[in-house]
């Protein structure tokens, strides 16, 4: 719950006019035993809120705790950042494929093919991903470069997450060993 949610609840509190609050303070305190909070109003606007210490502590704790929506949003944002990093690294790799000498390109592709072969032999990855990478690695390097940074028939994110290329450690998490 955030501060705006708490402020919205002020309009739903039992209220007491300010003049009555001044004249019957004791009664107002008695009323707090039944109500968690009371809004003190003047000209139909909330001017103050009187609450018990227990209720106040609950409000503060709920305002400080992240909401489930905020946590989901943060998780999605973090995942988008990871995917952006993967896309950047694959973009650099695509440029390397397009600009390297044939010998360098062949060595890079041979290394990736060997890793996919190891995935298959040790069942380290799903068959779908292995088959996709096997077929991609057979493409001419210009097409491979384009597919690596594209949607790849809806598989782009998954393939960048499970890449046979050595892209270096990510800034957001340590490199995995196979």
102-138 pLDDT, tens per residue?
999 999 999 999 999 999 999 999 999 999 999 999 9
- Select from 153, 156, 175, 137 the least CA-distant residue to 91: 156
Residue 46 in any domain: the answer is yes
User: Is 154 domain-assigned?
Assistant: yes
pLDDT of 51 over the 80 cut: yes
Q: How many whole angstroms separate alpha carbon 123 and alpha carbon 80?
A: 28
112 near 135, Cβ under 8 Å?
A: no
Domain containing 24 equals 3-64
Tokens read off for 110: 């041979």
* Whether residue 59 sits in one domain with residue 132: no
Whether 172 is in a domain gets the answer no
Instruction: Give the helix ranges, DSSP H, for the chain.
Output: 3-10, 18-23, 25-34, 53-64, 68-99, 102-122, 127-136, 141-148, 156-161
Same domain, yes or no: 49 and 110: no
Cβ–Cβ < 8 Å for 47, 41: yes
Both 59 and 123 in one domain: the answer is: no
In degrees and rounded to multiples of 5, residue 172 shows phi and psi of -90, -15
Q: What total number of domains does the chain contain?
A: 2
On whether both 95 and 122 belong to a single domain, the answer is: yes
Within a domain: residue 106? Answer: yes
pLDDT in tens, 19-37: 888 888 888 888 877 787 8
């Amino acid at each position: 719950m955030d501060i705006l949610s708490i402020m919205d609840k002020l309009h739903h509190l039992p209220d007491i006019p300010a003049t009555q609050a001044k004249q019957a303070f004791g009664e107002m305190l008695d009323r707090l035993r039944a109500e968690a909070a009371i809004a003190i109003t003047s000209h139909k606007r909330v001017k103050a809120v009187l609450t018990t210490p227990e209720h106040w502590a609950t409000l503060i704790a709920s305002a400080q705790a992240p909401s489930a929506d905020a946590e989901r949003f943060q998780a999605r944002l973090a995942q988008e950042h990871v995917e952006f990093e993967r896309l950047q690294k694959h973009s650099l790799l695509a440029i390397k494929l397009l600009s390297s000498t044939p010998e360098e390109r062949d060595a890079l592709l041979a290394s990736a093919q060997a890793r996919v072969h190891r995935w298959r032999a040790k069942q380290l990855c799903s068959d779908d991903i292995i088959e996709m990478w096997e077929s991609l690695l057979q493409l001419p390097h210009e097409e491979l470069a384009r597919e690596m940074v594209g949607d790849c028939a809806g598989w782009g994110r998954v393939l960048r997450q499970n890449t046979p290329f050595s892209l270096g450690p990510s800034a957001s998490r340590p490199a995995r060993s196979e």
